[in-house]
Amino acid sequence: MIDGKRVLGLVCARGGSKGVPRKNLRKLGGRPLVAWSIASARACPLIDRVILSTDDAEIAETAKAFGAEVPFLRPAGLARDDSPEWLVWRHALSEMKAHQEFAADYLVVLPPTSPFRDITAVEGSLRQLHATGADIVISVTDASRNPYFNMVELDATGAARLCKRPPGGVVRRQDAPKVYDITTVVYSARADFVHSSGGTWEGTVQAVHIPAARALDIDTEMDLRFAEFLLAEGHVKP
């Protein structure tokens, strides 16, 4: 809770992941991916309740074992490959208000694909949301490519051009305007904004910066192997 504002922690983990089958139950450092996000949410002192949204009974039971509430199962219509995550957030807020008597003011979403988040990033995201009056706070990390310097678009003939070309051009990467990659580490949003809008960019957006090692997004088998490497070599701490 922040100054009387109730905070709901949400972990979204459907059963039908494609890039890494059963991804949310795959083990990393001896525990399933979904458990990492649950642990982060439970460790944040500002989060009042931690719930899991899933369509999958096995994921639900695993989440309960690691301390999350699973007060409902997600409808099949919100668990397809093309189901908007935003509607999953809205569904969770509505279910908690209608059936759990918990009307959240703020929602913090912790995707299982980012197991290495630091608790300070979660708390910082929520505090920034509260302090700035933003509608949503996303997480970002330094981009490995830059549209002003080494990212191109191809036209119908195959000709290449820079995505963004500032006046005079940029001859050194260091001189290009700073850009960032969006990460899946943490999203903090006002509940009323989630209910009233159709997505992130319809509101006022702020961002918290995440170090590269903490920003890993597991979407493929290679990502999972790299996560195992980072743990084994001590580049991140559980």
Give the torsion sign (CA, 166, 168, 169, 172).
negative
Is 110 a residue whose pLDDT tops 90?
yes
What's the pLDDT band for 68 if we cut at 50, 70, 90? very high
Which residues, other chains included, contact 44 with Cβ-Cβ below 8 Å and sequence gap of 6+? Answer: 9, 108, 119, 122, 123, 126
Average predicted confidence (pLDDT) for the chain? 94
Identify the pLDDT of residue 169. Answer: 79
Q: If you search the block for the tokens 């050194």, which residue do you land on?
A: 172
Mean pLDDT of 202-229: 94
State the helix-helix crossing angle for 33-43 and 119-132, rounded to 10 degrees. 50
C-beta atoms surrounding 204 within 10 Å: 12
Identify the pLDDT of residue 69. Answer: 97
How is residue 17 annotated by DSSP?
Answer: -
Identify the pLDDT of residue 221. Answer: 92
Q: Are strands 136-142 and 180-190 parallel, antiparallel or unpaired?
A: antiparallel
- The C-alpha atoms of residue 120 and residue 107 are separated, in whole angstroms, by 17
Is 17 a residue whose pLDDT tops 80?
no
The candidate with the shortest Cα–Cα distance to 120, out of 223, 43, 172, is: 43
pLDDT tens by residue, 134-143: 999 999 999 9
Distances (CA, A) of 100 to 6, 59, 192: 13, 21, 18
Identify the pLDDT of residue 114. Answer: 96
Q: How far apart are the first and last CA of the chain?
A: 25
What's the pLDDT band for 133 if we cut at 50, 70, 90? very high
Mean pLDDT of 68-75: 95
Is 92 a residue whose pLDDT tops 90?
yes
Identify the pLDDT of residue 104. Answer: 98
Identify the pLDDT of residue 206. Answer: 98
